Amino acid sequence: MRARGPSIEDVALEAGVSVATVSRALRGLPNVAEATRARVEEVAARLDYRADPSAARLATGRTQLVEIATPTVDGWYFSRFLAGAIDQLMSSGYETIARPVESPEEREEFLADPTQLKKRVDGVILVDLNIPEDVATQLHGAGVNTVTAGFSTQRFPSVLIDDVRVGHLATSHLIELGHRRIGLISGEPNHPLAFSVPGLRLAGYSAAMGEHGLMIDPLLEQSGRFTAQGGRIAMERLLALPDPPTAVFAMSDEMAFGAWRAINDAGLRWPDDVAVVGVDDHELAEMVDLTTVRLSPRALGAAAAQRLLDLIDGESVATTGLAARLDVVELVPRASTIGSG
Amino acid sequence: MRARGPSIEDVALEAGVSVATVSRALRGLPNVAEATRARVEEVAARLDYRADPSAARLATGRTQLVEIATPTVDGWYFSRFLAGAIDQLMSSGYETIARPVESPEEREEFLADPTQLKKRVDGVILVDLNIPEDVATQLHGAGVNTVTAGFSTQRFPSVLIDDVRVGHLATSHLIELGHRRIGLISGEPNHPLAFSVPGLRLAGYSAAMGEHGLMIDPLLEQSGRFTAQGGRIAMERLLALPDPPTAVFAMSDEMAFGAWRAINDAGLRWPDDVAVVGVDDHELAEMVDLTTVRLSPRALGAAAAQRLLDLIDGESVATTGLAARLDVVELVPRASTIGSG
DNA sequence: CGGCGCCATGTAAACGGTTACATTCGCGTC
DNA sequence: GACGCGAATGTAACCGTTTACATGGCGCCG
């Protein structure tokens, strides 16, 4: 291997001061004469000196590292959440460790050791992991700075999308257009990670239906597993019903794409034969003129990151409030429901 | 804050041995009596002791951290690359820092300080960043373990998709179907990061055309900026040509979706009016029956990670070879070129 | 039976910073 | 002119590991 770079001592020697002064000067601490600071900075620059982060970490106990755990790293939603969070964290000088947690086992493994976690990173963002309250208590007890996204606990700040509103928005849009028999393409009913999104959107759907005195036919709910292929199959089932729906609320755009395909295969067209509304505002939604409820996972990620930064800076939860419900959902009407006219 | 956890000294005291023995026992080093090891492990478990990674890093100079720099973190391709790489790295006990590098400025900033980089992480994977050779030399000089993906340098191992073959595969497929006038929806001609993918795929296209004695009409190349919207506009332009192509090679599926939209808007259909082949095998390609050249960014990411691990373990580049061209590209014929029969 | 070597363990010096506390110096005040 | 105080700097302990080197004990070989 190669020789290590210059140490703080080299700088101190060269600048004719003590290491303490170098440390103070370079970090912008007060009580350093301007002349001294300038000289130290000059020397540091000349020697191309940088503080070794590992040493700084050991001394201060802060890592400048944050870990973000998401069910996957390459999903449409999660990758955008990550992007937003990383942006925010980087601008505050933190690096981000991406940590996929795909199964309950991985989740246990990840959370099994809060003490270690606390030593590894300055904070953690848990996205759609729905941890039980007692695990949250453990984390809290170990002093791990934590923010949750997509679900909430009683101990940590959280950022949430108002998923009930998502369901309500989509459904009442369809109702207002005159639809009475509205199908539902939902998520895995018993997903291993049991994330709460499907349930909440379903609640919004039910509420909207109830408000208009419409009955909910359990036959009209089909799981699409949040994939295009799943959405396609779900739609095929709905269309095969003796009394098929005239409109469908798909809980994600990807599933709505599958629905689109099934509708086409059946020789039908939207919105006339079946109207469809999705969720996300996927880049490709516009290509098929899919009405959708736009989410902003990037904004959510950025908000989660900001709350974590506040937490790390010692902002008490009391001042920031526990759960922040972001008002970023918005209906984007397109031809899949309102026709092209 | 809370009290720190137990230190190695606490364990040593409790187990009645020295810290050195504890360290050796817990890390599975040789020359520790089995009885001693067992006792130390028991005590460590009882006290819930874990070595502080920061301290270990300082002492060993290894961080168990890898950084992956990609143009974005939420693109279809890059997020999957990341997922594959993270998987691989995790199974070897490394954590992964995700680092978006969206502009040349950010690239400079990221690479400006190889010394610091070397201290921060054990290795780096650069994806589609096309760094100049002299920067590579600097990195190499600083001793930063580096693997490049999607481009190559003279100093570091790289993993590559055979993008010439991608272009060739797509184009000759179209030629074999009888097409003679083949359009091209390519990437940004002068992308700020100047990544090499478009050029290589273009080369494959040109080669295939040449092999069959077909002329290349520069009017038939339009940039689609690798977005659906861009692909749509590009296709509109192609269709507006006095002598429009009978087939189009789009360099990504997302652009092909846009092309699909433009074709529909023009009242045409694929494959009869215009055949289209894309690249990626996006999840949604199947939904529109898009013929495509399947890539496996996950596999590429995993391969890159493995090469980096080899590098970190001191495997010499000589034994592994410099550039690995992964043979993962594969034509997936669907109805957008071959009809439904 | 003495010496040699090897195995298990201990001692203590790194690793490269941060920071509590001590020290020095200059200056204004009474 | 002595005193006190604050600003600038230095000294050295500390953060929690790893690891080179020293030590001691025991078995084996000649």
Catalogue the long-range contacts made by B42-49 (C-beta closer than 8 Å, 24 or more residues apart). Answer: B42/B15, B43/B11, B43/B14, B43/B15, B44/B11, B46/B14, B47/B6, B47/B10, B47/B11, B47/B14, B48/A115, B48/B5, B48/B6, B49/B5, B49/B6, B49/B7, B49/B8, B49/B10, B49/B11
Asked whether A76 and A280 are in contact (CB, 8 A), the reply is yes
DSSP H or E stretch at residue A95 = strand A95-100
In a domain, A59, yes or no: no
A contacts of B63 (beta carbons < 8 Å): 54
Do B80 and B138 share a domain, yes or no? yes
Specify the pLDDT at position B322. 73
Residues 6+ apart with CB under 8 A from B218: none
Closest alpha carbon within chain B to A78: B74
Q: Do the Cβ atoms of B48 and A95 come within 8 Å?
A: no
Partner residue facing A113 (CB), from B50, B261, B284? B50
- B276 touches B290 (CB < 8 A): yes
d(CA B31, CA B246) in angstroms, rounded, equals: 74
pLDDT for residue A1 = 45
Question: Are B118 and B143 contacting, i.e. CB atoms less than 8 angstroms apart?
Answer: yes
Under 8 Å between Cβ of A279 and A77: no
What pLDDT is recorded for position A18?
95
Same domain, B103 and B196: no
CA distance linking residue B153 with residue B66, whole number of Å? 20
Residue whose C-alpha is closest to residue A51's, from A2, A89, A17, A9? A9
Residue A3, in any domain of the structure: no
Q: Is the CB of A31 under 7 A from strand C?
A: no
Count: domains in chain B: 3
Task: Choose among B115, B142, B258: nearest Cβ to A287.
Answer: B258
Q: Which nucleotides of D are covered by protein (CB under 7 A)?
A: 7-12, 14-20
Asked if A62 CB < 7 A from strand C, the reply is: no
For residues B208-233, average pLDDT: 96
Say what percent of chain A tops pLDDT 90.
Answer: 88
Based on the domain organization, do B100 and B17 belong to the same domain?
no
Based on the domain organization, do B202 and B334 belong to the same domain? yes
Q: How is A292-338 classified by DSSP, letter by letter?
A: EEE--HHHHHHHHHHHHHHHHTT--HHHH-SEEEE---EEE--HHHH
Helix A34-47 × helix A19-26 angle, to 10°: 90
pLDDT, residue B1, reads: 45
Q: How far apart are the first and last CA of chain B?
A: 69
One domain, residues B245 and B311: no
User: Per-residue pLDDT tens for A174-233?
Assistant: 999 999 999 999 987 666 666 789 999 999 999 999 999 999 999 999 999 999 999 999
CATH number of the domain enclosing A285:
3.40.50.2300
B204 and B196 in contact (C-beta within 8 Å)? no
> Which residues span the domain enclosing B208?
163-295+330-338
CB contact under 8 A, B287 and A2: no
**CATH code of the domain in which B45 resides:** 1.10.260.40
Same domain, B247 and B201: yes
Contacts of A54 in chain B (CB under 8 A): 54, 57-58, 61, 63, 119
Q: Which residues contact B228 (CB under 8 A, 6 or more apart)?
A: A283, A284, A286, A287, B254, B255, B257, B258, B261
Which of B49, B79, B86, B103 to mutate to test binding with chain A, by most A CBs within 10 Å of its CB?
B79
Helix A297-312 to helix A76-90 angle (10° resolution) is 40
Q: Inspect the interface and report whether the beta carbons of B98 and A115 lie closer than 8 Å.
A: no
Examine residue B121 and state whether it is found in any structural domain, yes or no. yes
Please give the Cα distance from B15 to B80 (Å, whole number).
47
Q: Does residue B249 sit in the same domain as residue B181?
A: yes
| CB atoms B74 and A53 under 8 Å | no
Contact at 8 Å (CB) between A215 and A182? no
Indicate whether A319 pLDDT > 80: no
Lowest mean pLDDT among A8-17, A99-108, B322-331: B322-331
Residues B133 and B210 in one domain: no
Cβ contact A5–B258 (<8 Å): no
**Within-domain flag for A288:** yes
Q: pLDDT tens digit string along B8-56?
A: 999 999 999 999 999 999 999 989 999 999 999 999 999 999 999 999 9
Q: How far is CA A101 from CA A72, A106, A141, A299, A305, in A?
A: 6, 6, 22, 22, 19
CA A202/CA A251 separation, integer angstroms:
9
Same domain, B220 and B334: yes
Going by C-alpha positions, the residue among A237, A191, A180 that lies closest to residue A72 is A191
**Which range has highest mean pLDDT (A93-107, A182-196, A318-332)?**
A93-107
Assigned domain for B240 exists: yes
Check residues A187 and A67 and name the one with the higher pLDDT.
A67
How many Cα atoms are found within 13 Å in the side-chain-facing hemisphere of B62? 9
Task: Please name every residue paired with A23 in a beta bridge, in sequence order, or none if there are none.
Answer: none
Q: Is the same domain home to A186 and A267?
A: yes
Query: Residue A45 falls within a domain, yes or no?
Result: yes
- DSSP E strands, B21-82: 65-70
Q: Is A58 a member of any domain?
A: no
pLDDT tens per residue across span B294-317: 999 999 999 999 999 999 998 766
Q: Is the CB of A33 under 7 A from strand C?
A: no
B3 in any annotated domain: no
What are B89-142's pLDDT values in tens digits? 999 999 999 999 999 999 999 999 999 999 999 999 999 999 999 999 999 999
Distance separating alpha carbons of residues A299 and A270, to the nearest angstrom: 31
The SS3 assignment for B285 reads coil
Nearest CA in chain A to B259: A287
Cβ B14 vs Cβ B47: under 8 Å: yes
Instruction: Give A6-23 pLDDT, tens digit per residue.
Output: 999 999 999 999 999 999
Structure-token match 């289209």, residue found: B276
Q: For residue A251, which of A264, A271, A234, A270 has the smallest C-alpha distance?
A: A234
Can you point out the beta strands (E) in chain B? 65-70, 95-100, 123-127, 146-149, 158-161, 182-186, 221-223, 247-250, 275-280, 291-294, 323-326, 330-332
**CA-based nearest distance A190→chain B, Å:** 23
Q: Which nucleotide is closest, CA of A49 to its C1'?
A: C16
Q: Tokens 């009809």 appear where?
A: B339
Which of B145, B135, B316, B65 lies closest to A2 in space, CA to CA?
B145
**Chain A neighbors of B53, CB-CB under 8 A:** 119-120
The H or E element that residue A280 is part of is strand A275-280
Q: Are residues A301 and A265 in the same domain?
A: no
- Is any atom of strand C within 7 angstroms of residue A51's beta carbon? yes
User: Contacts of residue B83 in chain A, CB cutoff 8 Å?
Assistant: 72-74, 100
Contacts of A96 in chain B (CB under 8 A): 97-98
Burial class (CB in 10 A: 0-12, 13-18, 19+), A194: middle
Per-state percent for chain A, helix, strand, coil, to nearest 5? 50, 15, 35
Quick one: which of A107, A98, A126, A104 has its CA closest to B94? A98
What Å value separates CA B25 and C1' D27? 24
DSSP helix/strand/coil, A27: coil
Q: What is the rounded average pLDDT of the residues B247-273? A: 97
Query: Are B129 and B152 in contact, with CB atoms under 8 Å apart?
Result: no
Asked whether strand C has any atom less than 7 Å from the CB of B97, the reply is: no
Asked if residue B341 has pLDDT above 60, the reply is no
Structure-model confidence comparison of residues A220 and A30, the more confident one: A220
**In whole numbers, what is the pLDDT of chain B averaged over residues?**
93
Mean pLDDT of A144-150: 95
Q: What is the pLDDT of residue B325?
A: 79
For B316, the token pair is 């010499």
Give the tokens for residue A273: 């034969």
Average pLDDT for chain A: 93
Chain C footprint positions (protein CB, under 7 Å): 7-12, 14-20
Q: Which residue's alpha carbon is at the shortest distance from the C1' of D10?
A: A18
Question: Does one domain contain both A334 and A202?
Answer: yes
For residue A211, the distance in angstroms to the closest alpha carbon of chain B comes to 35
Contacts of B211 (CB under 8 A, 6+ apart): B172
Rounded to a whole number of angstroms, the distance from the CA of A163 to the nearest CA of chain B is: 22
Q: Going along A117-217, which residue ranges are E strands? A: 123-127, 146-149, 158-161, 182-186
Number of H helices, E strands in chain A: 15, 12
- pLDDT at residue A136 above 50? yes
- The reply to whether B30 has its C-beta less than 7 Å from any atom of strand C is yes
**CA neighbor of B308 nearest in space, from B44, B77, B127:** B127
Q: Report CA(A19)–C1'(C17) in Å, whole number.
A: 9
Q: Which residue of A has its CA nearest to B141?
A: A2
